[in-house]
Chain A
Amino acid sequence: MDNLKQTPLNAEHRALGAKMVDFGGWDMPVQYTSIIDEHVAVRTRCGMFDVSHMGEIWVEGPQALDLVQFLSSNDASKLALHQIQYSGLLTPQGCFVDDMLVHKDADDRYLLVVNASNTDKDFAWILSQAKGFDARVTNASPVTAQIALQGPKSLEILQPFVTGLDLAPIKYYWYGYGTVLGERCLIARTGYTGEDGFEVYLSPQSAPALWRALLEAGKPYGLVPAGLGARDTLRLEACMALYGNDIDDTTTVLDADLGWILKLGKPGPFNGRSVLEKQKAEGTARKLVAFELTERGIPRHGFECFAGGQKVGVVTSGTQAPFLKKPLGMAYLPMSLSEVGTAFEVDIRGKKVAAKVVPKPHYKRSK
């Protein structure tokens, strides 16, 4: 435990009695009371997450956009000021170094938010790719804390703490700057739960005070602190990919069924372009699908999928979904088995359990 990294909110989690785990080298809360209760709180009221472990990498300079375009599968030139897009940070093979959120902060300044356990790898990768671009790359992760409020009550709970920024007009995947506890903060309408909510980027020094204040102010609304356990089940219900489970440096953007973040029409070369153009033309052999079990059992990461007695794929994420209350997941299956309604089996500790492909996402919030 001594070697684990800590967020500025570590003492808050311990004071709340959270169960702590090693998450990619970080000492993080997996749950405070119950994953199910925390999950349901986010779907119905509000949950507060410490996501300070996430990586923040700034790309600045005259060729900031050119560098981002070279790194990213999506088309950052389409972003308006303070707009955000989900994208892939790609290898030359069209696979994922990581997935990320690209924020346009100015014409010559972009913020990339990446996965915690990939931050050092991503930063080194981006630096290695930045040679020849007139752009400066900075890893601001150590000086950036992040608190996510997720759930339908998030706006009401957060707004009283923010001056100089009206949160209600901010659309999903947009952001603004406001003053929180005397500090200018980036506040984005984003999240990893499939629910409405905000992510507040602030200094590590200010994070504990805001955490405590939101915990107190949120009580009448039913806000609870929520851990990584609920974060994982929430994102899985929403069919949001988890790096290391559903996507990695062996899966292409198209394999992962993320064609919507691949903009082959954008000008210029970018990592993975030629591989992905070829794959797009020829079609992919496999696809990341959503599925449910139609018999009793719980699918888990790594379980094998079978059809006609043959091994055909693998479960990348699975759980007993706390809000939808059924066993579901995502899996890579051959294209021929990827149609909605297709039956297959999941091998659960030697027992074949019936499953079927279902539409994505498992859960979509009502607007």
Chain B
Amino acid sequence: MNIPSDLKYTKSHEWIRVEGNVGTAGITDFAQQELGDIVFVEAPAQGSAVAAGAPMGSVESVKAVSEINAPAGGAVSAVNADLADHPELLNADPYGKGWILKITLANAGELSGLMDAAAYAAYVAESAH
């Protein structure tokens, strides 16, 4: 399982990559493996506000629906338009081409509540039992 060291992680299996005051977010490799073939992604509209830890959309596999939560609060500055026609990018490249949205962070301090890669790896190993 791929858990890049430069990202922050939530307990609900989202990741965020912070560059300046903008965070790029998506779902983790573990999440996409658990879901299976992803066939639909519903992300918040560009310009809308999201709150840390609150639902901001959903990801659907053939079998199931899973809510996705915002790793950090702020304004949605971009959404990945490729996912409308190619939701399978979340399976193929969850940390790259499968990014879901970018958030202009309202409060960078919220990030300290997230897990680093080592903590997330331990969390996943634990929840797999």
Residue of B nearest to A39 (CB): B62
Q: CB distance B36 to A35 under 8 Å?
A: yes
Whole-angstrom distance between the Cβ of B59 and the nearest chain A Cβ: 11
Whole-angstrom distance between the Cβ of B28 and the nearest chain A Cβ: 17
Give the chain A neighbours of B37 by CB distance below 8 A: 34-37, 322
Q: CB distance B36 to A34 under 8 Å?
A: yes
Given contact pairs A298-B60, A320-B60, A31 touches B36 in the complex (Cβ within 8 A): yes
Whole-angstrom distance between the Cβ of A327 and the nearest chain B Cβ: 8
B75 at the interface (CB under 8 A from A): no
* Residue from B40, B63, B65 within 8 A of A35 (CB atoms): B63
Q: CB distance B63 to A298 under 8 Å?
A: no
A31 to B64, CA, bound (A): 13
A30 at the interface (CB under 8 A from B): yes
Given contact pairs A19-B36, A35-B36, A300 touches B62 in the complex (Cβ within 8 A): no
Q: CB distance A319 to B62 under 8 Å?
A: yes
B50 at the interface (CB under 8 A from A): no
**Most chain A CB inside 10 Å of its own CB: which residue of B37, B39, B62, B84:** B62
A233 to B62, CA, bound (A): 8
Whole-angstrom distance between the Cβ of A174 and the nearest chain B Cβ: 32
The count of residues in chain B whose C-beta lies closer than 8 Å to any C-beta of chain A is: 11
Give the chain B neighbours of A34 by CB distance below 8 A: 36-37
Q: CB distance B39 to A320 under 8 Å?
A: yes
Q: Which DSSP category, helix, strand, loop or mixed, fits chain B's interface?
A: strand
A61 at the interface (CB under 8 A from B): no
Whole-angstrom distance between the Cβ of A40 and the nearest chain B Cβ: 11
A320 to B63, CA, bound (A): 9
A297 to B87, CA, bound (A): 12
Whole-angstrom distance between the Cβ of B39 and the nearest chain A Cβ: 4
Q: CB distance B40 to A297 under 8 Å?
A: yes
Give the chain A neighbours of B63 by CB distance below 8 A: 30, 35, 229
Give the chain A neighbours of B61 by CB distance below 8 A: 35
Give the chain A neighbours of B65 by CB distance below 8 A: 298, 300, 349
Give the chain A neighbours of B40 by CB distance below 8 A: 296-298, 320
Whole-angstrom distance between the Cβ of B29 and the nearest chain A Cβ: 15
Whole-angstrom distance between the Cβ of A272 and the nearest chain B Cβ: 34
A217 to B77, CA, bound (A): 53
Tell me the B30-81 residues at the A interface (CB within 8 Å): 36-37, 39-40, 58, 60-63, 65
Tell me the B67-117 residues at the A interface (CB within 8 Å): 84
Give the chain B neighbours of A35 by CB distance below 8 A: 36-37, 61-63
Q: CB distance A322 to B62 under 8 Å?
A: yes
Whole-angstrom distance between the Cβ of A1 and the nearest chain B Cβ: 13
A233 to B65, CA, bound (A): 15
Tell me the A318-339 residues at the B interface (CB within 8 Å): 319-320, 322
Whole-angstrom distance between the Cβ of B79 and the nearest chain A Cβ: 14
Residue of B nearest to A21 (CB): B63
A36 to B63, CA, bound (A): 11
Residue of A nearest to B61 (CB): A35
Residue of A nearest to B60 (CB): A298
Q: CB distance B62 to A320 under 8 Å?
A: yes
Whole-angstrom distance between the Cβ of B24 and the nearest chain A Cβ: 23
B residues near A (Cβ < 8 Å) are: 36-37, 39-40, 58, 60-63, 65, 84
What 8 new A-B contacts, CB under 8 Å, besides A31-B36, A35-B61?
A: A19-B36, A35-B62, A35-B63, A229-B36, A233-B62, A298-B39, A320-B62, A349-B65
10 closest residue pairs by CB, A with B: A320-B39, A35-B62, A36-B37, A298-B60, A34-B37, A298-B40, A35-B37, A229-B63, A35-B36, A319-B62
A residues near B (Cβ < 8 Å) are: 19, 30-31, 34-37, 229, 233, 296-298, 300, 319-320, 322, 349
A–B pairs, 10, beta carbons within 8 Å: A34-B37, A35-B62, A36-B37, A36-B39, A296-B84, A298-B39, A298-B65, A300-B65, A320-B62, A322-B37
